[in-house]
Amino acid sequence: MEKKKFERPVIKKVQIGMPSKFGLKSEYAPIKEIDGVPVKDLIQQYGSPLYVFSEKTIRETYAEAYKAFSTRYPKVQFAWSYKTNYLNAICKVFHREGSWAEVVSGFEYEKALKNGVPGNQIIFNGPYKTKEDLVTAIKNHSYIHIDHYDEYYMLIDIAEELQLRPQVAVRVNMDTGIYPQWSRFGFNYENGEAWDIVQRILISNKMDLVGLHCHIGTYIMVPWAYSTAMNKLIDLFLGIEKKFNKHLQYIDIGGGFASKNTLKGAYLPGTDTCPTFDQYADSITSTLINSSINIEHLPTLILETGRGLIDDAGYLLGTVHATKRLPDGKNSYITDIGVNLLFTSFWYDYKITPAQEFGPYTEESVVYGPLCMNIDVLREYVQLPPMKKGDHFVISRIGAYNNTQWMQFIMYRPNVVLIDTDKKTHIIRKKENYETFAIQEQIPEHLK
Amino acid sequence: MKHSIKSHFFDWFSGLLLSYSQVFFSKSKIFSWFILIITFTYPELGICGMIASLSALVFASIIGLNNTYIRNGYYAYNALLVGLGIGYYYELNLPVLVVIVLAGFITLLLHLWIEQWLYKYRLPVLSLPFVITLWFVILSTRELAFFELSDRNLFVLNNIFALGGQNLLSFYTWFNDEFLPPLFKYFFTALGSIFFQDTALAGFVIFIGLIVFSRIASFLAILGFFSAYYFMHFIGIQNEHIGLMFIGFNFILTSIAIGGIFIIPNLYSHLWILILTPVNVLLTISLSSMLQNWQLSIYSLSFNLIILMFLTSIRSRYKGNRKLIETYYQEYMPEKNLYSYLASKGKEINSGPVLLLPFWGEWTVWQGYNGNYTHKDLYRHALDFVITYQGKNYKGNGATLDDYYTYNKLVVSPGSGWVVRIVDGIEDNPIGEVNLIHNWGNSIIIKHSEYVYSQMSHLKAGSFKVKEGDYVRVGQPLAHVGNSGRSPEPHLHFQVQAYPMLGSPTIEYTISRYLLIEGKNKKLLYKTVPSEQDHVENIQIQSNLAKALHFIPGTQIEVTLHENMRITKYDWEVFTDSLNQTYIYSKTTHSYAYIYKDDLMFYFRSFHGKKTDPLYLLYCSCYHIEFAVLPEQKFTQPYPLHLIFPFYKTFWQDVFAPFYNILKAIYSIKILSNSYSSNSIIIESNMHKKIWIKEYLFAKATITIVQQKITKIEWYDKNQKTVYLTYKNKY
């Protein structure tokens, strides 16, 4: 029989004024394993902290999202948003599932090509595309989503210079009735700029206009906002059909589906408030189907969902380095995971779950990272069962943005592991060491 | 365009030559030469045949008949036989010559008349004009003094001596008396007597020609004759002279026509010969004695009657019989008919309207044909579909309608047609309950053609997007899935029926194309009915591919072939013929290839010409392209063997071909990339040959499509060839 776990006693103030009548459930189970692989073994084998991705979850989430759209609309294409997570293994899982690539920089473009994505399955977005980037993209027949007039002029120059026809779409921004309105990317719908660029492209006849694109924001909690956006794109689509007798090939509605993480300051947890893929899909596809677009010319619907597809599949495993009682009496933990590894904790209240058994009592705690900086706080206020030095914990739903926005600040970045569908583990990014950085650095002769 | 005298002469010459093999439904020039030479064993007889044939051809030109039919001897073979007949009976002199010319003309007139008469029943003219004209001539000549009966058929040996001296005579006696078994003597004599020859040797030479033309036809000739011979023996008829009496060849011709020309040669067509021959024998005997009164022979009368009756009977079949298949696209050679049919199996050009699945995305067949719950008896040909995820059709605890993946999903039209009936206004049942008063629930019925209606039921009240009387196109949204009627859980009921009433009995009807999902793989299926528990998905047509393979008549194509540093130019043009079939014609090499295209596929029906022609490269590399085929998915189809293997390789297997094929030629394509941009579809096609179990790649091609046109074919076999195509519109 296993020895019963000792847990130090906690003193807890009786609380009043709970967020709701029933309060928040504080009883929850530890995460002792991921896809059947024990957390303890993972940390033992690959060290702590450790990023873990579940291939099974990625594929299941993708299948669920794809099903939600493909059973409602005949032509659906997902494009994996590289900036959300561009670890090659992760990208390849999505490409295997049938996703194209959506990139926003020359670096990402290069990555997509190296991952074996054919040029004509790469969507090139973003406000900053250099001439070299554009030339490569045009030569590979990738779809360039024009962001501003200067980019359009640059494309005309390149097209004339190379005698090639770029394949382009127009990025449109618009008021969809939500706050904030993203107006810095693309051409505005309401003030007529979007229609203006469409006309210019089609009249100049230097490039092929193949689609329309918008991306109304991020973490959109209301599906009807997509419906509003789609209606405005359909208006442009039909306008082009009417005036130029041209049927565009696709409408790219972008991404921005909320994952089940809880935003800081949210009243209720994300698991309860975020819409499902079905709700988003219903809103988007019914707008398209009920529009006056002729059934034979229905455009392909492209989705650039990033966060919604990967967040759930990512876990960050960490270890308690020290416990410390703060002057105000609050308990705090110093852990090996800080904002350097969990950049997104700036806006999410991540769920932290111990990786070993714990009792029913929780106490108010602060979770700090390892950095020698005041802002390195993972959770300012969280109810946690008492943990001691050396205990492991799991932060879930961290798949999006953390492996692209992480920082190498005073420490090396750890291993990233993928658990495949046969429960085998694979390192998909090795932990860094001195050599990783030394190779990039150069010392001038006089300092040697 | 005026037809010049020179081209008239060309037409007549070609028509004259081909009129010989036309008697065997063939268009083989080599075979014609065999027969032509044999008719000149009696030079006068040969001349008579030729004059009658020419007479029909020239009159056909004067009347202004279709040049194609003049050129292929179609108007002349009856006259040829009449001419040979007159030459056989009478001594040649000037008045007889005039009668032969007139007889040729009469045969043509009769041909045209009978053709018009039979055309509306889609029946062939066969040799009725010959039989009737020859009777006319024989009956009329009994009154004419200048007609002297020829005695050449009485003195066979004299004639042979005159033809080739002592050597030929001794060869003939050896061949006839010692070499040939008596049975084969009768057979060859019967074969020769088609062209009014009375020696087994003549028949033997014709038989060699027949083997060169078609192995299947040769075997059928033997089968037909011997089955008749043994049957006659069985019923006790003295049959030593069936060759000489102009009746033996009836069984030969019937056997070839039914066994291999009008019916695709297979085991069943051969078995039918064994049934038809005894009938033919009885018919022959009775008709012979009937005509005895006028001292006339029946010639090929019984053959004509049997064929016409049999073809009419199989066309009256209510249901298509998969065992006895009519030749849809006549290629005038049993082998070609067979190989083309085997390669086109499943393409089924002439069938009912296209029906696809009535939804989008991946669904599961919950109850199939002859299901356990409700698909029984009159309603056994119905399909119930639901959406499942990880084996379940609901999420959560499945207590409310919204938990079901299928609920509220869109139903789309399976094919184009008219909305003939909508039932609306029936409330959805709570989960687990059924509405037995309004059994079908909210439903829609669409008429796709006469006797093909589709019904979709258990829809959601108030969700209809069309109204009665609307014309809907394939894939058009109709309504949402609900849970009305006899439906305990949301599902879509789909059935095809012959009548427009709600709940008419179901009929078996295949889905034209759909994807069958097996794990990660999606397989494109033709004309199949999904089975229970199948995961199925609707197809998506890649419209840019469909456009690229649209060859519009009038389009001119400039072709450049690059091979071994040598550049050759060709001119092609797309035409349609009078039967509205499209073909690509090479003006440079006179090769042509028939094509077929509909909403779902493109394929080459046939190719005629040399295998070194660039048109042949197009034929091989773009042989069959499905528009719904997914990128990176392989799609395979068999080729017609005779267009891939050289003659000497198929020669031996032709005999067995109706029963078993040793050789196989397989075409496969893969769409390497297909982008929205108008400028790139790349298709890779691989061509395999298989001999027994040994399979090897004999050629490989990459096809580039730019701006919705095929612009380049890179061909790799032993040497590399590249074909470039540029398009111009003529009009």
Per-domain residue ranges of chain A: 33-53+312-433, 55-311
Look at A74 and B360 and tell me if their CB atoms are within 8 Å.
yes
What single-letter amino acid sits at B444? I
Cβ atoms of residues B100 and B108 within 8 Å: no
Question: Does residue B567 carry a pLDDT above 70?
Answer: yes
Read off the pLDDT of each residue in A390-399 and give the average, rounded to a whole number: 95
Higher pLDDT, B214 or A261: B214
Confidence of residue A22 (pLDDT cuts 50, 70, 90): very low
For the ranges A328-332, B130-134, B572-576, B629-633, which has the lowest average pLDDT? Answer: B629-633
The CA distance from B729 to B554, in Å, is 7
pLDDT score of A46 = 96
Look at B676 and A75 and tell me if their CB atoms are within 8 Å.
no
Q: Which of B190, B193, B268, B255 is nearest to B227 (CA)?
A: B255
The predicted-structure confidence for B626-650, as pLDDT tens digits, reads as follows 888 877 678 888 999 888 888 888 8
- DSSP result, B350-414: T-S-----SSSSEEEEEE-TT-SSS--GGG-SEEEEE--BTTBSBSTTS-SGGGBTTTT-EEE-S
The CA distance from A355 to A251, in Å, is 44
CB proximity A407 to B under 8 Å: no
Closest partner residue to B677 among A70, A208, A290, by Cβ?
Answer: A208
Question: Does residue A231 carry a pLDDT above 90?
Answer: yes
- Residue A383's DSSP bridge partners are A364
Phi/psi at B678 (5° precision): -70, -10
Higher pLDDT, B326 or B20: B20
**Hey, CA dihedral for B445, B448, B451, B452, is it positive or negative?**
negative
Cβ atoms of residues A242 and A195 within 8 Å: no
The CA distance from A313 to A80, in Å, is 15
What single-letter amino acid sits at A344? T
Which of A75, A78, A120, A210 to mutate to test binding with chain B, by most B CBs within 10 Å of its CB?
A120
CB proximity A249 to B under 8 Å: yes
Q: Identify the H or E element spanning A269.
A: none
Read off the pLDDT of each residue in A29-56 and give the average, rounded to a whole number: 95
- Percentage of chain A beyond pLDDT 70 is 96
Q: Which of B574, B355, B384 is nearest to B475 (CA)?
A: B355
For the ranges A88-102, B137-151, B526-540, which has the lowest average pLDDT? Answer: B137-151
**Distinct helix (H) and strand (E) counts, chain B:** 18, 24
The CA distance from B547 to B285, in Å, is 60
- DSSP result, B467-517: -TT-EE-TT-EEEEB---SS-SS--EEEEEESSSSTTPPB----EEEEEEE
Among chain A residues, CA nearest to B480? A72
The predicted-structure confidence for B417-432, as pLDDT tens digits, reads as follows 999 999 999 999 999 9
The CA distance from A65 to A71, in Å, is 10
pLDDT score of A18 = 55
CATH of domain A33-53+312-433: 2.40.37.10
CB proximity A150 to B under 8 Å: no
- Give yes or no on whether A33-53+312-433 and A55-311 have one common fold: no
Q: In what order do the strands lie in the sheet with B471-472?
A: B471-472, B417-423, B442-449, B452-459, B492-497, B382-386, B362-367, B535-537, B511-518, B521-528
Three-state SS letters, A109-132: HHHHHHCCCCHHHEEECCCCCCHH
Q: Which of A89, A119, A82 is nearest to A103 (CA)?
A: A82
CB proximity A12 to B under 8 Å: no
Architecture of domain A55-311: Alpha-Beta Barrel (3.20)
**Which residues in chain A are contacts of B541 at CB distance < 8 A?**
none
CA distance, residue A117 to nearest chain B CA (Å) = 11
The CA distance from A208 to A231, in Å, is 23
Cβ atoms of residues B441 and B367 within 8 Å: no
pLDDT score of B329 = 81
Question: Does residue B243 carry a pLDDT above 80?
Answer: no
Question: Does residue B539 carry a pLDDT above 50?
Answer: yes
Higher pLDDT, B160 or B193: B193
CB proximity A358 to B under 8 Å: no
- The span from the first CA to the last CA of chain B, in angstroms, equals 17
Largest CA distance in chain B: 105
CB proximity B293 to A under 8 Å: no
DSSP category for residue B258:
I
Closest partner residue to A296 among B359, B473, B538, by Cβ?
Answer: B473
pLDDT score of B295 = 85
Q: Give the global pTM.
A: 0.79
Look at A210 and B387 and tell me if their CB atoms are within 8 Å.
no
CA distance, residue B324 to nearest chain A CA (Å) = 40
Q: In what order do the strands lie in the sheet with B624-626?
A: B624-626, B601-608, B592-597, B582-586, B566-576, B555-563, B720-729, B709-716, B694-706, B681-691, B663-674, B634-638
At residue A135, the 3 state secondary structure works out as helix
Cis peptide before A49 (omega within 30 of 0): yes
The predicted-structure confidence for B667-726, as pLDDT tens digits, reads as follows 999 888 776 655 678 899 999 999 888 988 989 999 998 878 898 999 998 888 899 988
For the ranges A94-103, A264-273, B361-370, B411-420, which has the lowest average pLDDT? Answer: A264-273
CB proximity B476 to A under 8 Å: yes
Tokens read off for A124: 């090139």
pLDDT score of B285 = 87
- Percentage of chain B beyond pLDDT 70 is 95
**Which residues in chain B are contacts of A208 at CB distance < 8 A?**
677-678
The predicted-structure confidence for A317-374, as pLDDT tens digits, reads as follows 999 999 999 998 889 999 999 999 999 999 899 999 999 988 878 888 999 999 999 9
Closest partner residue to A210 among B363, B405, B677, by Cβ?
Answer: B677
What single-letter amino acid sits at A214? C
In B215-331, beta strands by DSSP E: none
